[in-house]
Structure formats: C-alpha cells, structure tokens
Amino acid sequence: MMYYQKRFHCQQKRCCLVDLCQRITNKNTECLDKKLTNGAITFHLLIDKSSRAKLQTIVKNWHLNKVNFEFYDYKPYLSKLNWILSHPPADIKSCTKLLLPEILPSYVRQVISLDVDLMLNADINELWNRFRYFRGSQMIGLAIEQNPYFESVMNSLVKNWKGYGYNTGVILLNLAKLRSVPWNHLWMSATKFIMRNMGYLKNAEQDIINLIASRNIELFYEIPCEWNIQLSRGVEIRRCPVTWITKNKQVNDEELFYRNQPKIIHMNHQIKPEDIDLKNILNIDLNTSDTIYNADLLYKKYLKEYFKYRHVSRQCFY
C-alpha cells in the first residue's frame, strides 16, 4: 500500500530490490517527487491481545507519515456469532466483517474491508474514490466472484440463481448508511435461512452477503473486477481477463497497459506463499507474448512480487 502511494525510499540502494526503484523513477534516472496523498490512512485491525502487543511495538518504531493504527479485540464479538456453524470452523472469524458497523466508532462513516491475503498493485485511494459512485441506497461495494464453484453454493439457496455472485475479500462499506437500516436483521435472517437449508456456512460471510444481495440488490454496488483478481483453484480468468505488466517493461500498447492491469490480487488459494520455497522464484521467466495472463502466470507473478515486498526492509517505507 505504501509503495503505490510513492511512500518509498527509492534513493536508498538497500531498498532497490530487483526493480522496485525503477518502477517509481522518472525515466529510470531520478526519483519522482514525493507526492503524499491528501489525508491520513487509518488501519482498523481486528486482532487478539497477544498479536496486538507485537504489532503495537512494530508500528511504534515504524515512523510512517500520516498513517494511524487502531486496534480492536475481536474475541468479545465472537460470542455474537457462536450460534453460526461454519466449515471449517475457523472461518467464523471472518464473519466479524458483518459487525463492522457496530465495532468501529460512529465517526468512521466509510471503510474498506480487506482480507489479509491480498496484494495491492495500485494506489488504494483509487479504490476509495469508488465510494463516489454509490447511488441512492447503495451501501456495499463488491467485485464479482471468479470461481464457478460458488455458483453451486448459491443455486442450493436461491431458486433460478443467475450470475457469478460476489467475492468478499474486498468490500467497500458505507457504515453511515448501514447504521441507518436494520442491518443486523438482514444478515441474521440470511444466516438463519442458510443454516436451515445447508446446515452450515460453506464460504463464511460470503454466503450471507450474497444471499442478502439476492434479496436486496439495491443495497449493492459492483466495483470493477480488477480490484479483486482471485487466484483460488479452479478460477475462471475469462471472468476478469488481465495482463500484469510492470511499468518499467517495454509496453507497445499503452491502452492495454492501463486498461487491463490487476489492481488487487487476492491469493485465496489453499497454498499460500508461506507454504512454498521461494528461494528460486525470482529466476522464473514470466516473459510471454500473451495479452491475457492465465491463472498459472498470475500465481507465479504474485509469488515473485510477494518475495520482493517480503524481503525489503520496513524502513524503506514512510
């Protein structure tokens, strides 16, 4: 997130892992002017007490400009969800997203909910600006689900279900609007219906939110799919075709470069980067003449980018 806001010390050689500095330099000769975006960024982290102590120590010694961190213990809110069955059971934690209008302070009127297995490939402010596109009763923004498996889940809940459904890894929430409607009734009613018909949640809060969408589509705004490119096993790339080209590469078609780039890549795959030996990942050749990346290319590209960010010092960001 900091990198794509140009909060990156590209003058420092130790930060220039592979091409990280070249991407944000002007003609590869000098760093661009520091252009911090207006306003502060606030991270609202739902976390347990032990992890909170560790993170607070990290952020205290990490001098980020106009960045705030707010911590919330999620465990007290789990008691409000303990009547819900989910498979696997650990997925019930992600249902705390449904309680964000209650958990976050009333002065927080809008928030972007992000899963932890995401990689940003654009300035988060571009996504924040999507709130301006909400009309009338729209209060929840989501991108389409790109795995056909989810259709079978919804077909078992909604007669004559059509469409792809929505993925909840990235959610724009207008909390002010959600607090003005009977939101608790909407999600609880949907959850009880799923429990009666399927016995448990198969996709945690995603099942609930999609059932609400089938009943109250006027509440929803569809964000462009490139803001949630999913890499789950069996994903259909044709649902949101993209070409992931880094800007310092030679690009013949500038329109293609700007139109089809993934903005957020969602590693909702069972095998995470931490489960893979990445020692040789930088040596993998991803040069291709294809204008559209297939799932395998996207997966490998994600791993290469992940390796770079994982191995650059936190102090390279400000």
pLDDT of residue 63: 86
Alpha-carbon gap, residue 304 to 240, rounded angstroms: 21
Alpha-carbon gap, residue 296 to 18, rounded angstroms: 22
The residue written with tokens 């794509």 in the block is 4
Alpha-carbon gap, residue 264 to 276, rounded angstroms: 21
202 and 87 Cβ atoms separated by less than 8 Å: yes
pLDDT tens, position by position, 162-212: 889 999 999 999 999 999 999 999 999 999 999 999 999 999 999 999 999
- Which helix (DSSP H) or strand (DSSP E) does residue 266 occupy? strand 264-266
What's the whole-number mean pLDDT along residues 66-91?
91
pLDDT of residue 80: 94
Beta strands at 41-47 and 30-31: parallel, antiparallel or unpaired: unpaired
Q: At what angle do helices 205-215 and 183-198 cross, to 10 degrees?
A: 110
What's the whole-number mean pLDDT along residues 25-39?
53
User: Which pTM was predicted?
Assistant: 0.91
Least confident segment among 87-101, 120-134, 187-201: 87-101
Instruction: Count how many residues are written for the chain.
Output: 318
Residue 91 has pLDDT above 60, yes or no: yes
Residue 313 has pLDDT above 80, yes or no: yes
Beta strands at 30-31 and 25-26: parallel, antiparallel or unpaired: antiparallel
Nearest to 232 by CA among 274, 181, 272, 175: 272
pLDDT of residue 38: 55
pLDDT of residue 27: 44
pLDDT tens, position by position, 260-308: 899 999 999 888 888 887 776 767 666 655 567 888 889 888 998 998 8
pLDDT tens, position by position, 216-271: 999 999 999 999 999 999 999 999 999 887 655 545 555 555 558 999 999 998 88
Kindly indicate the confidence band of residue 88, based on its pLDDT and cuts at 50, 70 and 90.
confident
